[in-house]
Chain A
Amino acid sequence: MQSVHIVSAYDEELKYLSKRIAAMGGHAERMVEQAVTALVNADPGLAQKVIRDDTVLDEGQREIDDKAIIIIAKRQPMAADLREIVGTIRISADLERVGDLAKNVAKRVVAVTDGRQPTSLFRGLEALSNLALTQLKEVLDVYASRSVEKIGFVRDRDDQIDAMYTSLFRELLTYMMEDPRNITPCTHLLFCAKNIERIGDHATNIAETIYYIVTGDQLPAERPKGDKTDKISLSETQPVK
């Protein structure tokens, strides 16, 4: 995967960094998954666990930052190595944010599931989180395999996530108009949806970083940015009959 350095300890250090990134990634994936499961199944115990788990990611990021800085100071890396190390710092920051967002979803579990909500409310959110999780998983798989030629899928799926989020936004808005008692849970769900959509964005960021690590170029920028919720107004949203 990488050219071998004369000092084998250097290779070891670089390998350790990517191993830590993978571990953080696995943790972040698990947190998102469990946060949404806790929300759908109204499981405050699981939500508490997700909230506690966030510290693991915070520690991971701090450790990677420290290690990366030490490597830069000790080894004076060049070219691909330097990109690898700087990329690692950026990816760990993105993963840490993913963890925060998952934690925020978990925190809302109690408020949303206070009165029992119909499952149809959660179906859209589940589909959205599946999309975001698939995005995160495939991006981290690319980090493992370094096959950046396949990275085109990221843009497509990002569009899907945005479209799904816009659709969910409308749906939740109609529920709120139907019955003011829905406003509390639906507002929380809106934030949850927004968080999950942000998780997808962080995954896209990570993909761009990986592309940069491997090729040294930036992923060509052609993104007319996505969700259209900024244009949704009450006048065009009709309550469901």
Chain B
Amino acid sequence: MRARGQMADLDTEQRGIAQTMAARLWNSRWLLAAGVVAIVAVYALAGISAYVVLAALLLLFAAAILPAAGARQSTGSGAAIEATGLQRLSGEYLAAAVADPLIIFDRAATIVHANAAAFAAFGGIAPGMSLSLKFRAPEMQALLDGVLSGDVASDIVDYTEKLPVERAYRVSVSSVGHATDLYVLVFKDQSEARRIDRMRADFIANASHELRTPLASIAGFIETLRGPARNDAAARDQFLQIMQSQTGRMARLIDDLLSLSRLEMKPYLKPGTEVDLRQTVDSVIDSLGPLASENAVAIERRYADGPLHVPGDRDELFQVFENLLENACKYGQSGGRVVVSIAHSDAGSEPGIDVTIRDFGPGIPEEHIPRITERFYRVDVETSRTQKGTGLGLSIVKHILTRHNARLSIKSEVGNGAAFSVHLPAH
């Protein structure tokens, strides 16, 4: 477009008399040309013949018509200049500026370009990969088939991913057009709304179930205090103490439920922050010092040399190690010591850092190990109650680690303690 405009300009320049005019005067060139022609004509009239008058009139006539064409041309080139402002912008920059995941693909459903948001949301996509192999859900297949066959120019569908974390998207697909043979897929995240609904339902179900037990016991004691034990000072004191510990338990439970719900509210991690594991683990150990000495447990540190940094959220990882170390001190109390070690692990598919918290207590029976990260799953209900456990500690740990693409592995033998090992990938 721009090249054509320039050529047209050159053309008129050749035809125009005012070819030497500066660009500033370009718009008034026809007026000037007409003036020059008139002067020449008058000059010639005085001198030679009527031929020139006719020619001058013709020229003037042409000059009167041409400005309209010129004006049209100038508006045309103005539009071209505006359009080049967008044309110089590459589609890649435009895609990068879109906050929602966006994927551009071709007629064979091969990914041509995916923006950073798409890479963050769907791991393992790369240009050249087939879109229909990555998004296999039946509704996505139907969506892609529909637009690729040309039946519809654009379409919208709701798409949910259940694993590893539940996410819901409203996906719209449309053809780019303009003979590019490209299509664009935009994902609008609707997980938040969905999650709030679920959170409410889950919270009510879990909370009501778990709160009922302490509530029932408090209600029972109140009844006793108002009835048979009304005048028994010793019993009253004892009952009040039990009631206090039950209300404490309810408060802890609500805290844990809330922190779990908060984690579920934002399943993605803010990228780009680094955590110093040495410093984080040290501060966890400091904060749990009183608990350890109360339980007569000595904490040993075995750290690898060099920097121990991983990408992640410090507060969340603090909570992970706090929960694990707290468990080790409480349930591994009989072992008398807990070993916290941080080591580089370059073996396996993902290099990273392993943080292992090992206790020397009674250990966990094998059949319980796969399930102890489930909510409210308890190996031994009695011990959990006396240790003021809520049954949520490890599910919080697991939740946070899923967000960090990290793994929790548990090794234990009955009688030989347990080792909880967190593998955090370096990238």
Contacts and interface: CB of A to CB of B under 8 A. Distances in A.
A67 interface: no
A124 B372 CA distance: 11
A170 interface: yes
B130 A22 contact: yes
Interface string B84-127: 00000000000000000000000011000000000000001110
Nearest to B136: A26
B128 interface: yes
Contact of A160 (B125, B129, B370): B370
A22 B137 contact: no
A133 B163 contact: yes
B164 interface: yes
Given A123-B374, A160-B370, A145 B164 contact: no
B137 A29 contact: yes
Nearest to B162: A33
Contacts of B137: 26, 29-30
Contacts of B348: 152
B327 interface: no
Given A133-B163, A134-B163, A152-B349, A167 B370 contact: yes
A137 B163 contact: yes
B371 A164 contact: yes
Given A26-B136, A141-B124, A124 B371 contact: yes
B285 to A, nearest CB: 29
A130 B163 contact: yes
Nearest to B141: A23
A170 B108 contact: no
B341 to A, nearest CB: 21
A145 B126 contact: yes
Contacts of B140: 26
Interface residues of B, number: 32
B185 to A, nearest CB: 15
Interface in A111-165: 119, 123-124, 127, 130, 133-134, 137, 140-141, 143-145, 147, 149-150, 152-153, 160, 163-164
A6 B137 CA distance: 33
Given A124-B371, A153-B349, A166-B367, A23 B130 contact: no
Contacts of B349: 149-150, 152-153
Nearest to A24: B136
A27 interface: yes
B368 interface: yes
Main secondary structure of the interface of A (DSSP, over half): helix
B370 A163 contact: yes
A150 B134 CA distance: 16
A205 interface: no
Nearest to A164: B370
Interface residues of A, number: 37
A1 interface: yes
Given A152-B348, A167-B368, A144 B138 contact: no
Contacts of B205: 119
Contacts of B133: 18-19, 21-22, 140, 143-144
B345 interface: no
Contacts of A99: none
Contacts of B162: 33, 133
Given A133-B162, A133-B163, A152-B349, A144 B371 contact: no
A25 interface: yes
A163 B128 contact: no
B71 to A, nearest CB: 52
A211 B395 CA distance: 34
A142 to B, nearest CB: 8
A75 interface: no
A146 to B, nearest CB: 9
B304 interface: no
Contacts of A1: 128-130
- Listed residue (B125, B134, B136) with the most chain A CB atoms within 10 angstroms of its CB: B136
B58 interface: no
B369 interface: yes
B367 A167 contact: yes
Nearest to B134: A144
A15 interface: yes
Contacts of A15: 108, 130
What are the 3 A-B residue pairs with the smallest beta carbon separation, nearest first? Answer: A26-B136, A144-B133, A164-B370
10 contacts: A18-B130, A18-B133, A22-B136, A26-B141, A30-B138, A119-B205, A134-B164, A144-B133, A163-B370, A164-B370
Given A22-B134, A26-B140, A127-B370, 5 more contacts: A15-B130, A22-B141, A27-B136, A124-B374, A167-B368
